[in-house]
Amino acid sequence: MDFKTAELTPQQNYRLLNGGVTPRPIAWISTRSAEGIDNLAPYSFFTVASCNPPVLLYTQVTQRNGNDKDTLVNLKQTGECVVNIVNSDLMVKANMTSAALEGAISEFEHAEVQQCKSALVSVSSVKESPVRYECTLREIRTISDLPTGGTIVLLDVKSIYVRDDLFLDDAINQHQIDSVGKLGGDAFAVKPAIKELKRP
């Protein structure tokens, strides 16, 4: 079947994009509000934008009410965040933090997520996350402020934490990191089979 995007509703386009561009890594982003409230939320529209300099990218999909999510509000206020990688042990708690909570409620407390001090930024990290990227805000670009539109957020990586047992031969052991991928709808990719192919 072929679909002409101009003939589809925004929600139909969302489902076709969300369900086909898979699996997607999950950026479990911790921020802190200007009032000192710790926020934690998962974003699966997430990737590496640059390695030199090291920059991460995530997209905030515009909510129906047009308001920014707490993550972006906090980033605009403080300019700092931590991108925590989600493994299978953390998947349920990460999903819990996607709930729409009042801004005064911390998702760390709501989902009973252990937090720890970060190395360079003032924002807390997820203690049990196997890999964590401490970042500062680089740039925000709004593609569309319509419902299901998107705002691209670029983050400068300032410090990287890798759990000791995962660092092997100067790299992150892909057989042990156990990172979770997001599929369409409510589906996740957990503990996928790993096949290695040498590049030609």
Tally of domains within the chain: 1
Q: Give the helix ranges, DSSP H, for 3-90.
A: 10-20, 70-78
Q: What is the CATH number of the domain that holds 151?
A: 2.30.110.10
* 90, 108 contact by CB (below 8 A): no
pTM listed for this prediction? 0.95
pLDDT in tens, 169-188: 999 999 999 999 999 999 99
- Residue 39, beta-bridge partner list: 31
Q: How many CB atoms lie within 10 A of CB 174?
A: 12
- For residue 58, give its domain range: 23-163
Is 122 a domain residue?
A: yes
Length of the chain: 200
60-110 pLDDT, tens per residue?
Answer: 998 877 778 899 999 999 999 999 999 999 999 999 999 888 878 899 999
In a domain? residue 90: yes
